[in-house]
Amino acid sequence: MSVLPLCVLPHPVLRQQAQPVDSFTRGLRRMAMDLLDTMYANDGVGLAAPQVGWSLQLFVANPSQQAGRELIVANPVLEPAGGRARIVEGCLSVPKAWHRVRRSARVRLRGQDLSGHPLVLEAEGLLAIVLQHEVDHLGGRLFIDRLSWWQRRRLLWRAARNA
């Protein structure tokens, strides 16, 4: 498979609503494997298709970073299931920027696997955070959009200075 170049802010694809996956082919499987290779090559725990320039509702995740524990989801729909969590997040598409973000502590995710079969997952902890982060990407939203205007401006200024 391939390690793909990452799209970084202000790339326009990062701000677009991704298109639903409607064809579950060998090509989609190859795309998912490329996403995994790219995620691991960049020491990530999740990666959404828009982060490599594909406006497609597809993401991969593996917060444990243990081989064989990868999660691949197409057309996800996320439902908060309770609780609040605050965790320091970063993003491969917003290099050198880290900030504490408020999210749901538990979520329920509905989507499809690479064969188009329904997938339902309940998650908490780091996996719940990663799922929310990746689903945000598919809607054209970045973790910095969850910060106040002042926090976002300050964070991006610091990241630019450290680049």
Out of 70, 79, 122, 134, which one is annotated catalytic? 134
Dist CA 74 CA 116 (whole Å): 8
**Is residue 134 annotated as a catalytic residue, yes or no?**
yes
Q: Which two tokens stand for residue 43?
A: 């020491």
CB contact burial 43-66 (16+ within 10 A = b; e otherwise): ebbbbbbbbbebebbbbbbbbeee
Residues that are catalytic: 134
